[in-house]
A and B are shown apart, each in its own frame.
Chain A
Amino acid sequence: MNNKVSNNRAWLLVLPMLVLVAFSAIIPLMTVVNYSVQDVLGPNASFFTGTEWFKSMLNDSALQAAFVRQIAFSLVILAIQIPLGIGIALIMPKRGWQASAVLILITLPLLIPWNVVGSIWQIFTRGDIGLMGWGLRELGIDYNITRHSGDAWVTIVLMDVWHWTPLVAMLCYSGLRSIPEAYYQAARIDRASKWAVFRYIQLPKLTNVLVIAVLLRFMHSFMIYAEPFVLTGGGPGSSTTFLSQALTTMAVGQQDLGPSAAFSLIYFLVILLVSWVFYTTIMHMQKDKPPQGGA
């Protein structure tokens, strides 16, 4: 990391990538900014409205509620998935065919298209044809995700845990694999307790992967759309309507280009702020640490 050469011709290597990403990122972003200050009625009919949309979006109580809900959701799933993922990584077999088999099984949920994940859970939790819904009903629990907002919330959290914990587990697993066997041998000679091994050998090695895991999980949970859309459709009421869905309903469903563009920009600025804080923190963590050898 420390022996990088200063060379501005490196821009040439970056250029093809830059063109592609800029095409997909900058032009749409500019268009969103243009939309946000106008009332767009059609391709050639639009009126300048100034900051009106921003004002109404910032004071929209439904959107504020969706925002609070979104933050609550992201925090809840992080609080569950990170410890659970570490736990699973710790008990996964380290070698042999079992290791491969468990790896493949565990990755499964990650590779299912997001709307199919929603369908799987919609089927699974239905009272009439789903194993979980039917089972809970047989046990005498009044479980219904289309009527009770609490049930809907629990189910969405459960679905997200099912869907994404594997990612955390796999990241931690490969972090654990990079610990040399000698460390464990030394710990065994010292008769270190399991907790001591975890606290002083495994956890420090996991810090970097955990930062990546938290970042990825935060980002994806913050833009969750397809799964709750298929599972609950945002209901009952609007109890599980998260930000992306509120936005998509407005932009596509109601064709309100101006307001939804203004809302997009506010959403984007929040994400920008959060990711900047995250990024700066990571960079400072890496800078403060003494450079480690490969491994």
Chain B
Amino acid sequence: MMSWMVWTLPTALFFSSIAAMLAGMTVWEIVSPTIERKGFLPIATTRGDRLFIGLLSAAFIHLGVIGFTSLSIWIALAVSAVWLLVLMRWG
């Protein structure tokens, strides 16, 4: 019944990591609730907001690298991961 979804290992890993992130954020939120604060982004954000901004910009970084450069996708992944961490910490 699930065969029509044509799962592959990379996409399965992708969705599991997203699910793990959501679960992790929920647990973190229960353990220590977030406080809205203002970092280098122009708006005040909560932890969840920063994660969302980070993931969305990561998607666009990947698209840019894939579409308009011949760099490896792993470089895009590394850049995105660093950007996500920067955003979570100082955003």
**Cβ–Cβ contact A280 & B43, under 8 A:** yes
Tell me which residues across on chain B come within 8 A of A266, comparing CB atoms: 63
**Cβ–Cβ contact B43 & A284, under 8 A:** yes
With A54-B66, A58-B66 known as contacts, the answer to whether A31 contacts B56 (CB < 8 A) is no
Q: Quick check: is A169 within 8 A (CB to CB) of the other chain? A: no
**Cβ–Cβ contact A48 & B8, under 8 A:** yes
**Cβ–Cβ contact B60 & A269, under 8 A:** yes
Q: Quick check: is A44 within 8 A (CB to CB) of the other chain? A: yes
**Cβ–Cβ contact B73 & A51, under 8 A:** yes
CB distance from B2 to the nearest CB of A (A): 10
**B39-64 at interface with A (beta carbon < 8 Å):** 43, 52, 56, 59-60, 63
**Cβ–Cβ contact A30 & B5, under 8 A:** yes
Q: Quick check: is A144 within 8 A (CB to CB) of the other chain? A: no
Tell me which residues across on chain A come within 8 A of B56, comparing CB atoms: 269, 272-273, 276
- Tally chain A residues at the interface, Cβ within 8 Å: 27
CB distance from A104 to the nearest CB of B (A): 42
**Cβ–Cβ contact A54 & B3, under 8 A:** no
Q: Quick check: is B11 within 8 A (CB to CB) of the other chain? A: yes
Tell me which residues across on chain B come within 8 A of A48, comparing CB atoms: 8, 10
Tell me which residues across on chain B come within 8 A of A164, comparing CB atoms: none
**Cβ–Cβ contact A34 & B60, under 8 A:** no
Q: Quick check: is A122 within 8 A (CB to CB) of the other chain? A: no
With A269-B59, A284-B43 known as contacts, the answer to whether A58 contacts B6 (CB < 8 A) is no
The one of B4, B6, B43, B67 in contact with A54, judged by C-beta atoms closer than 8 angstroms, is: B67
With A33-B14, A269-B56, A276-B56 known as contacts, the answer to whether A59 contacts B4 (CB < 8 A) is no
Q: Which of B14, B15, B59, B63 has the most CB of A within 10 A?
A: B63
Residue of B nearest to A29 (CB): B15
**Cβ–Cβ contact B63 & A54, under 8 A:** yes
Tell me which residues across on chain A come within 8 A of B43, comparing CB atoms: 280, 284
Interchain Cβ contacts under 8 Å between A and B, 10 examples: A27-B5, A33-B11, A35-B6, A44-B3, A51-B73, A54-B63, A269-B63, A273-B60, A276-B52, A284-B43
